[in-house]
Amino acid sequence: MRELFVKKNGLWVLLALLAVKGLLLLWLVVASPLGLSPDEAQYWTWSQSLDWGYYSKPPGIAWQIALTSGVLGSTSLGVRAGALIIGFLLPLVVFGIARGARMGGQIPFWAGVVMAFSPIGVYLTFAATTDGGAILFLTCAVLLVVKGVEREEGPSFGWVGLMILLGALYKWTAYIFWPLLLPFLFFVPKLRKKMLLWGILLSLLALVPTVYWNASHEWATFKHVGGAIGEKKGGNFFDFLGAQIGLLSPVYFFYLVLGCFFSYREKRKSFWFQAAFPTLVLLYLGGAFFKKMQPNWAAYLYPPGLALVGWFALEKGKRGSLWLTLGTVVSIGIVAFGLLVPLFQKNDLFSIPYKLNPFRQTLGWENLQKGLSEAGYNPETDFLFGDKYQTASLLSFYSPQQKRAYYFNISQSRKTQFSYWPQMEQEEVGKDGYFVVLENTTQEKLPRYENRYLKALTPYFEKVSFVEAFPLFTANDTPVKYALIFYAQNYSGKAPTTPKKY
């Protein structure tokens, strides 16, 4: 009876589930202690200085946050509202892929559920990242092609090109769509349309803003991306594999692997195209033998193929509905436990080690303003600075009046977007500032930071004094995150040597 109801009303049931999920995550954004991650705070700083491009990414995420924070204010909700919308739409697109591929019965419903309630689905609904927009529009392009392959007239490549254009404004990984599509020209004659070339050219227009910005900024984005690709820090195969399983949850991941494998044995070309995206993860796994791979690097490849999870479970497997239900319960359980870990640690429940907290980088920032005020910071007369772009970003968002902080690169790290904005030597000579170090550390290690930074800052100021180590977050009755605050008087105008690293 339940299966028949879902089969007939799958879209409405999915919409209801998405609404419940969205309301719960909205509450988390507004009321929970989970603040912005350093990257989210950085993207907010970009949105406050709109431009055609930025140091490490195309401008899409900055434009998105400028729009939502312009309506809702520079708050966590203002920053993350776009993610809530993306997370609502993406499961509907995956639902559409299943329907477009003529997967019948409950499969479209379960395809949407897998997308919505997998850890990656929840993450994309909660966090303002470049992955969200890139994945949404890439998956929309896959939907258009899948439907086109199943129809006599084929896909409209003008619309496909527009989707890839929009996705590439967030992240260039959206362009992987074209190399994966081109081999299918040999198997699917209806894809050989003159508009294909125009669709590709249209999508390449997304590069224009970035190229325009880079032409007057040392081609920094291309140097940064090239350096990241060529950088070798040793492989992390097992960590990367574990992270990929975690992105989907074990049951979903297992069924996706089987779904991709069995889809290649079918005669349905639209199934092959869906499977091509997750299959490309094998290249990332191979690369993880030789260099460190970040967990999210392959995340964009999963959503286009998630309809195959429901297809295999319900068409090829045994007791598929039961296993999908179990997989959903497991996935929600993993997400819920991760969200509860900060609460357990804050209230000394179960004594979970702090290093197992998946939200370490988002906690405690709401206490920053209090710490700065107690240290004597006055936004009318003083400035803020740190030696990491993450610190400068968080100080900019969470400080009184949200003045942009400075990136004072005494550690000689690589350049960042802050390197291309006005510097302290241009705006703050002769003024006093507060230098802040944000660290997950213990009380025993604090003197090490105090001595290091007093020595490093002294050449640039008349006088530098350590004010306090303000605890930002406590786990199991022990402070584990601090803001180390230094008062630096009468800035001389000298600056660290500009690094050549990108």
Q: Produce one character per residue of 277-290: b if its CB has 16 or more CB atoms within 10 Å, e if not.
A: bbbbbeebeebbee
Average confidence (pLDDT) over 258-283: 93
DSSP-derived letter for residue 375 is H
**CA atoms lying within 13 Å on the CB side of residue 308:** 30
**CA atoms lying within 13 Å on the CB side of residue 347:** 6
Instruction: Using the predicted structure, report yes or no on whether residue 481 has a pLDDT greater than 90.
Output: yes
Using one digit for the tens of pLDDT, what is the confidence trace for 110-126? 999 999 999 999 999 99
Using one digit for the tens of pLDDT, what is the confidence trace for 343-370? 899 888 888 889 889 999 999 999 999 9
Q: Produce one character per residue of 489-498: b if its CB has 16 or more CB atoms within 10 Å, e if not.
A: eebeeeeeee
Hey, CA dihedral for 217, 412, 49, 227, is it positive or negative? positive
Percent of the chain with pLDDT strictly greater than 70: 97
DSSP string, 446-465: HHHHHHHHHHHHGGGEEEEE
Backbone angles phi, psi at 478, to 5 degrees: -130, 125
Strand partners, 485: 436, 468
Instruction: Using the predicted structure, report yes or no on whether residue 230 has a pLDDT greater than 70.
Output: no
Q: Which residue has the tokens 């306090």?
A: 468
Average confidence (pLDDT) over 75-79: 97
Q: Which residue has the tokens 């400028």?
A: 66
Amino acid identity at 179: P
Amino acid identity at 64: Q
Which candidate, 250, 254, 258, places its Cα nearest to that of 275?
258
Provide the phi-psi class of 430: left if phi over 0, else alpha when psi is between -120 and 50, else beta.
Answer: left
Residue 201, both tokens: 């050219």
Amino acid identity at 480: V
H or E segment and range at residue 271: helix 269-279
Q: Produce one character per residue of 97-135: b if its CB has 16 or more CB atoms within 10 Å, e if not.
A: bbbbbebebbbbbbbbbbbbbbbbbbbbbbbbbbbbbbb
- Crossing angle of helices 237-248 and 119-126, rounded to 10°: 80
Residue 68, both tokens: 């939502």
DSSP-derived letter for residue 403 is P
Average confidence (pLDDT) over 88-97: 98
Using one digit for the tens of pLDDT, what is the confidence trace for 434-450? 999 999 998 999 999 99
Instruction: Using the predicted structure, report yes or no on whether residue 313 has a pLDDT greater than 70.
Output: yes
Query: What stretches of 292-351 show up as alpha helix (H) in DSSP?
Result: 307-311, 320-346
Percent of the chain with pLDDT strictly greater than 90: 83
Confidence of residue 88 (pLDDT cuts 50, 70, 90): very high
Strand extents, DSSP E, 338-422: 383-386, 406-407
Using one digit for the tens of pLDDT, what is the confidence trace for 273-304? 999 999 999 999 999 998 888 888 999 999 99
Task: Tell me the average pLDDT of the chain.
Answer: 93
pLDDT for 275 = 95
Which candidate, 113, 86, 80, 95, places its Cα nearest to that of 248?
113
**Cβ atoms of 439 and 482 closer than 8 Å:** yes
